[in-house]
Each structure stands twice: as structure tokens, then as C-alpha cells.
Amino acid sequence: MPVGRRNELRKLEEAPQDPREAQRLADAELLSVSSSSSSSSYFVLFPNTPEEESAAGGSSPPQSPQRAFPAPSAMEASPWSLSEDSSSSAMEEGSGTGGEPGVAEPVLHAALHVRAVSLVGFLLQKFRTKQPTSQAEMLAIVGEDEQDAFPGILGQASECMRLVFGVEVKEVDPSEHSYVLVTVLGLTCDAMLSGEQGLPKTGLLVVLLGVILLEGDRAPEEVVWEALGVMGVYAGEEHIIFGEPRELLTNVWVQEGYLEYQQVPGGDPARYEFLWGPRAHMETSRVQVLEY
């Protein structure tokens, strides 16, 4: 990982007191990843809509159950990597009345993507500090003039938090528009554990539990790494969100009781497989994971 990005992630983990500074650091990190050569690590953020895929000149192939995330190639032209300055100009261009509708709409979607990325950075900070938030606070991040577009922005950001980080954005008081952030499916694991970044990792655990179910409750190790490779997660390779994934899967989550990692009897050479651990059985269910 580049030194500059490593330093930014350390700053994120320190949880600055100023919420605007915290959001700025998170936003800068999320945006910087999109323009780097390792952007496939974040390709699950804001998958392109069919209209955007068409505008980009291509479409991703149909996905099997284990390929619930779009392929990295589909993200290469993703509009959410725009800078903040370009997003502002895109908002102005997209909201203008003189442009062609076929051009303005994708540009507007691109600008909203960037607003959603900024909101994700803010929500991650709220999750780390175990603080609730409100619509007013979130509008202060994405822009007070985005009142009409806010439901769509929050929807994109919430989907990212759920699928990538395994964190639900739950509205607890509709009259006050207040929200809390909790890990999905009732999982109580230390979502920040492992890796220097201090980013939630529950989303990866849920994906892994799902892969195990799809493989008949016993997933060969090679199948697991093939499935996670679709997400840009590789054994022995440091990941921007999940740290070193082999350590996370075969040690941390085994010790926590979420996974079992055992040798397949009679294998030559030795082969290993993953199973659900007792804590996974206790905290969630097969139906919940498959529905997720």
C-alpha cells in the first residue's frame, strides 16, 4: 500500500474530533482508491445501473449466485471516481435545462454517486464512534441544496454500507429523521478487528458465510478464494478494507468462533475447507444469510 494512503488511513483510525475533518479524510481516501490501480478493491461501491453501463459502452455479464458483485471491468468507467470539483460542475450541467436529456441524466447520476461516496465516509466515522446521526447532519455533508436528491443519495450510501461494510443504516425516529448504524444480521463480532485501517469487515464475513452455504455447508479453500477474488480480495495480499484476508479468515474469525478451518481427511496434497463456526450458528441463520 502506498505510504500516502497508509498515512491517510491512520488519520481515519484516529477519529478526529472535528466531524468535518473526519469526513474530509474519509472522502479523500474513498475517492483516491477509485483512481488507483487497485480500484478493483472497491468495485462493489455503487454498481453501475443498466443505463450507465449503456452510456459507458458496455455491460457486465450475468452473475452466478457466487458472483453477486459486478466484475472489476464493469467498474473501470464508473462515474463515482469523479473529483469534488468535477461533481459540482456535473450537478450544474445535469440540472440545466438546455442540455440533451440523454447526456444530462448520466452526468447527474455521476454527481450523485460522488455525493454518496462523501456520505459513506461520514457514516463510517459515525459507526466507529458509535454515534447516531440525522438527516440534518447528512445534508450538511452532501449539501443543503440536495434536499430533493437526498433520498437517492442516502439509498446509494446505505447500500454501500450494507454490502461492502456489513453495516445497516436504520431510521429509528421517522419524525426526527434520526438514524443509527448497526452490524447486519445481528452479528456481534468486533467489526473493526484486524488491519490497520479500522474499517468494518462484517460484509466480508456475511459473503463468506453465504459461499459456505452455497457449497453445501463445506466450502473448499480454493473455492472460497476464487469467490472472494471476484471482490478483489486475495490470500496474502493486503486489502484496503479487510487487511490481510488469510489472517482474517483462518485465524481471527476462527478464534472468534465464526468459522471453522479444517483439513480435508485423506487429501494428498493436504487440502482445507471452511465451515460455519458455533458463533455464526448462534447469532444468525441460514435463511437470513441467503436472503441477505
Same domain, residue pair 137 and 218? no
Name the residue range of residue 64's domain: 3-186
Select the more confidently predicted residue: 281 or 241: 281
pLDDT digits (tens, 9 = 90+) for 184-193: 888 887 545 4
Instruction: Give the residue from 43, 30, 220, 248 showing the smallest Cα distance to 125.
Output: 30
Q: Which residue pairs from 128-131 have beta carbons closer than 8 angstroms and sit at least 24 positions apart in sequence?
A: 128/15, 128/192, 128/198, 129/15
Select the more confidently predicted residue: 107 or 140: 140
Same domain, residue pair 181 and 206? no
As for how many domains the chain has, the answer is 2
Where does a domain end: 186, 215, 232?
Answer: 186
Same domain, residue pair 179 and 243? no
Select the more confidently predicted residue: 55 or 210: 210
Same domain, residue pair 153 and 52? yes
Instruction: Give the residue from 228, 217, 231, 230 showing the smallest Cα distance to 262.
Output: 217
Q: At what angle do helices 101-128 and 84-95 cross, to 10 degrees?
A: 140
- The CATH number for 220's domain is 1.10.10.1210
Instruction: Give the residue from 156, 145, 63, 143 showing the smallest Cα distance to 110.
Output: 156
In a domain, 195, yes or no: no
Contact 251, 193 (CB under 8 A): no
**Residue found by looking up cell 443504516 in the block:** 169
In a domain, 35, yes or no: yes
Residue 138: predicted pLDDT: 94
Where does a domain end: 162, 186, 210?
Answer: 186
Residue 261, pLDDT above cutoff 90: yes
In a domain, 70, yes or no: yes
Residue 10: predicted pLDDT: 45
Same domain, residue pair 113 and 210? no
Select the more confidently predicted residue: 213 or 79: 213
Residue 108: predicted pLDDT: 60
**CA dist 274 to 65, 69, 185, 232, 242, Å?**
18, 21, 20, 19, 18
In a domain, 192, yes or no: no
Where does a domain end: 186, 211, 244?
Answer: 186
Q: List CB contacts of 124: < 8 A, sequence separation 6 or more.
A: 12, 26, 161, 165, 199, 200
pLDDT digits (tens, 9 = 90+) for 193-244: 444 446 788 889 999 999 999 999 999 999 999 999 988 899 989 888 888 8
pLDDT-wise least confident of 33-42, 122-131, 202-211: 33-42
Same domain, residue pair 79 and 206? no
Residue 82, pLDDT above cutoff 80: no
Residue 278, pLDDT above cutoff 70: yes
- The CATH number for 179's domain is 1.10.10.1200
In a domain, 269, yes or no: yes
Same domain, residue pair 181 and 51? yes
Residue 250, pLDDT above cutoff 90: yes
* Mean pLDDT value across the chain: 71
